[in-house]
Structure 1
Amino acid sequence: MEKWNKTSSDFILLGLFPQNQTGLLLLLLILLIFILASVGNSGMTALIFLDPRLHTPMYFLLSQLSLMDLMYISSTVPKMVYNFLSGQKSISFLGCGVQMFFFLTMAGSEGLILASMAYDRFVAICHPLHYPIRMSKSVCLKMILVPWTLGSINSVAHTFYILHLPYCTSRAINHFFCDVPAMVPLACVDTWVYEYMVFVSTGLFLIVPFLGITVSYGRVIFTVFHMRSKEGRRKAFTTCSTHLTVVTFYCAPFAYTYFRPKNLRFPAEDKNLAVFYTILTPMLNPIIYSLRNKEVLGAMRRVWGMFPPRKK
């Protein structure tokens, strides 16, 4: 391993599971989750595009969340599955950079999209008369473009820096994808300044949106308690609880992983936590938003009716 690392520019991904029957069963479970997430998120995106009744700001933002989740899980799982089945643990220098870029872009953009969705619900419930103005097409477009743009810029900066660090001894990444906390300990230079920058950027892309979401839903809950309509309260609580479930699954393990200093990180713990925000959350999002949403279920029936079965 030492000799290989000194003569190659590639990295080694040690993976998530051991190379045995138990590891194979767990890998098949991950593969099933990947298929469900891919079908669910691509189906949600297509459904919102095809059904005119879902052409509203809330569902346009939801379509971006589904697209991000699709790219999110696709940036990590296929390579992990291929490495396990082929017995090859290597990932090229370029491949590691591409994987890191897409992962970090989706990670940064998703927090901002979730905050945009919370703001949309805040305006819809607390200021319904102002909704057409505050959530106009131009505003909605900006709420979509800004997360993608900021997420990409942040990702380029981190990817460029990480790939230009000197790795003097080992290039074996104790993870199932190229992740910043797993690669920083491999550098043979002092990285405390960069670790501080990771802390700052994580705060900007995770804590700031989380605070915005908390404030938005705090106002929503206050407004809901003063509603006279039981149906209105039920619908508002359903929407808020759905969104908060997604936010919790995404933010909690992500924050725990990225806010800890290097000396308090444990590779096995980081890998297990990463499963939540890279694999489970992308699968749960379309399930949560579709099964608990009558409008989405109605759209499924309408779109399904657009393609009647052929008569024999």
Structure 2
Amino acid sequence: MTDESAEPVESDAPVLVGDTRPSSTGPSPSSRLSHRIGWHILLSVLSLAVLAPLFLVLVNALSNPVRYGQASATRRLLPVDVQWDVFSRAFDEQNGAMAKAFLVSAIVTALIVVAQLVTSALAAYAYAFIEFPFKRLAFAVSIATLLLPMEVTVLANVRTIRDLGWVNSYQSLVLPFAAAGFGIFLLRQGFSGIPRDLHEAARLDGFGHLHFLVRIALPLTRPVVAAFVLVSTLLAWSSYLWPRMVITDPQRRTLPILLKDLSLTTAERSNVFAAAGLIAFIPVVILLIVFQRHIVRGLTAGAVK
């Protein structure tokens, strides 16, 4: 018989206990700090590379062109014989052509952006939420327009504009760009991130297609819309080739055409050309400041599901 009252036998064998210390799988604080410093240095160098030309243009605009041309290379890094009235002189150049060109560019750019936003939003909504025959083929054709350079069709389009009698008119500057394949693609990617259940629920609540687009789809994809508006504005504002082909009236010149004409002036007035370039660049800076927080979010919409 076994003795049930026997005491348990103690063992001297070592007991293995797991290491309960938290394991450090991420980078150490010092490596994270060095990584962050490296990125800051790289971004600083890239920022200087972008801002340096603008700074030199500002220096050229404020300097006396004759004395600036005679100064040494190191002296040209700062304004020489500053002329603060150069910006008002740029506006008064060619009997106030700068102000007229600024107004024409603003009107044309606004019309193009509004037209592209409307057409792109409608087409993108159809591709994202509506089922119809040859839907994928139609979307592929829309995207294929991005692969076709404007220079390929410019001569045929110019002939069409002349046949319609639209030379030197706003419609010749706006209508050829009323639709944009890039906008259709970008907004469609943004709309694809909206749950289908939300669309179906809205339809059950009586929302029509246009109502859902304006009240729900566009507000939910605000970063995408902002990014598209920014890109569309920059392209329309800086367009040169097409306006040069269809505009011959000096009163209808856009800013890029006027800047090209001012660049043909003599070296003694190069500061006026530089000042005009800075004036034309001001709206771009304002747009970048206003929309900068939406650019990355908008352009990467739909990339990760």
- TM-score (ref. length: structure 2): 0.30
Q: Which has the higher helix share?
A: 1
